[in-house]
Structure 1
C-alpha cells in the first residue's frame, strides 16, 4: 500500500471534469480534509481553485500550436510528450512532499485519444504509481447524458479502463441539469448501459429506419453511409460489445448536492483504499479532543 492517494479525472470535452474537481475540493474543505490539485490541461483558462501544480507553468497548448504549427490534438500530444520528459522536475519533486492525508486530484484535458489511442497517459500513470511516489490511484471517467453520444462515450470509458489498468469510478455528470427531464426508469438505463437505448430513438441517428415509398439512400454512396443500415449495425455491435462485457456502470453526480458529491467520493476512497491506511482511533479519542479543545 502506498503512502499517497490520488485520482485522475477524465472524460470527453464538456463532460464537467473541472466543475467536478471544484465541487470535490469544496466538499473536502467542508469536511476538513486536505487535497492537492493538479491541472494537466494545457488549454485550461479559468479555475475556481488555483491549482497547486499547473502544466501551463511548463508548457501551454497555445504556444505549441503557434510555434510548431500544430492543430489542437497534435499540440496536446506534444504537450504531454514534453511533460513526460520533465516529470521528475515538474511533478515528482513537488509530489514527494505530499503526505497520506491529502487526496491528489489530477484534472485532465478532454481529448479522448490521450486515454484510448496513444500510450502517453498510461506512461504518466505508471510513473505516478511507481518509484518514490507510489501513489494508490483510481480513475474517475465522466460522461453526460446524451443519447446520441452515450454508447461511444461508454466504449471510450471501457477502453480507458483497459489502457490504464486502474480501478475506475464512472460518473454520469450534470444530473442537476437533467433533473425533472429524465424519468427515473429511463435514468436506470444509462446508469447500467442498456442496449435497447439504441432502438428507441430513430431521430438520434443511431438507428436506421427503412421506409417504403421514400428514397432510403444508396448503400454505396459515402454520403448516405452514416444514415444507412451498415451504420446502424455498427452501433448495435458497439452496444452489444458493451453489454457482453458488462464492465461499465455509472454513478450519478449532482455537483449542487453535497450528499451526491460525498457519495461519489466514498466510492473513490474505496477504490484507492484511503481509509484503510488512516490511523485507527480509540472510542474515547473524540471525547478527549473535545475536552482539550
Structure 2
C-alpha cells in the first residue's frame, strides 16, 4: 500500500483549513487513518492538532521579526528555508508508512505563480518521498457567481493545474453560505460552466473596450476544457464524502489497500 496525499490550495479566506478539518473529521468517523500536515507558517490548529507543523521548523511571526520582512516576503523566506531543509520534512514524514496525508498550504499564489517554490516541494514529495499526490483547489462560491470574478478564479486554478502538473479537483467552497435563492440558482451554472455563455453574460454588463479581452479569456478557458467544480458544504458529511471519493479515485487510494479477511460467518444454528 502506497502513501497518498491531497494538497489543499486556493486564495486566502476560501476555507482551506476548514476543508482540511472536515476531511479529518469524516475520515476519523469512518475509521480511516490520516495525517494533517500544516505547511502554512502562519496557521494555528483548529479542530484537530497538526501531525506535522512547519512552525516546528520556522514560523512567519519569527521570520518577520528577525528578518524585518512583511507578510508576503516573510512567507517566501519561510518556504525557501523549508526547501533548504527538506531533510526535516523527510524525517517528519518518514515515520508514517502507508498513510493518507492532508497537506494545508498558504493562500498566497506567489508561491507557485511567481516563484518556483511549491512546484519544487511537489517534486520532492512525489519523487523523493514517493507520495501519490493530487490537488484540491478551492474558490469561494459567493465570489465566483460574478462572471468577471469567475474568470479570474478560473485563471488562477488553471495556473495551478499547469505549474504543479498534478491531478486536480476544483471546489466551490462555502456553498451553504449562499442564502439568496437567485444566487443559489445562478450558482448551478458555475459548477459545470460553459465559458462562452458566461462570456456573453459578462459582455452585457462590462464596458465594450473590455470585450476583446473577455472573449480571449473565455476562449482560453473553453479551449483548456478542464475547469469544472464540485460544491462543498464543509459541515455536510455527504458533501465531504463526495469530494473525498474523487480524491480517492485520482490517487487510487482504494487500489493500494491491503485485502481484508472476510468476517467469520455466523452459523444459522447459532441465530
* TM-score, L = length of structure 2: 0.89
In the alignment, which of 94, 97, 110 is matched to residue 96 of structure 1? 94
CA distance in 1, matches of 2:2, 2:265: 27
1:109 corresponds to: 106
1:183, distance to aligned residue in structure 2 (A): 5.6
Q: Deviations over 1:75-131 (max 9, x none)?
A: 111110000011112x1112122121x210100010012122221101101101112
CA distance in 2, matches of 1:193, 1:86: 42
Closer, same or farther: CA 116–19 of 1 in aligned 2, 3 Å: same
SS of residue paired to 2:14: coil
How many residue pairs match? The answer is 261
Task: Kindly indicate whether the alpha-carbon contact (under 8 Å) linking 1:198 and 1:207 is maintained by their aligned counterparts in 2.
Answer: no
1:216 corresponds to: none
1:86 corresponds to: 85
1:263, distance to aligned residue in structure 2 (A): 0.4
1:7 corresponds to: 6
CA distance in 2, matches of 1:177, 1:123: 35
CA distance in 2, matches of 1:103, 1:35: 5
CA distance in 1, matches of 2:45, 2:130: 30
Q: Which moved more, 1:20-29 or 1:245-254?
A: 245-254
**Equivalence map 1:152-231=2 (5 Å):** 152-179=152-179, 181-182=181-182, 186-195=186-195, 196-200=197-201, 207-208=206-207, 229-230=209-210
CA distance in 1, matches of 2:72, 2:222: 30
CA distance in 2, matches of 1:125, 1:6: 11
Structure 1: segments with no counterpart, 5+ residues: 210-228
**Equivalence map 1:1-293=2 (5 Å):** 3-89=2-88, 91-100=89-98, 102-131=99-128, 133-145=129-141, 146=143, 147=146, 148-179=148-179, 181-182=181-182, 186-195=186-195, 196-200=197-201, 207-208=206-207, 229-230=209-210, 232-281=211-260, 285-287=262-264
- Between Structure 1 and Structure 2, the one with more helix by share is 2
CA distance in 2, matches of 1:17, 1:252: 14
SS of residue paired to 1:82: helix
SS of residue paired to 2:8: strand
RMSD: 2.2
CA distance in 2, matches of 1:271, 1:85: 30
Q: Deviations over 1:60-80 (max 9, x none)?
A: 112222222222222111110
* TM-score, L = length of structure 1: 0.82
Structure 2: segments with no counterpart, 5+ residues: 267-271
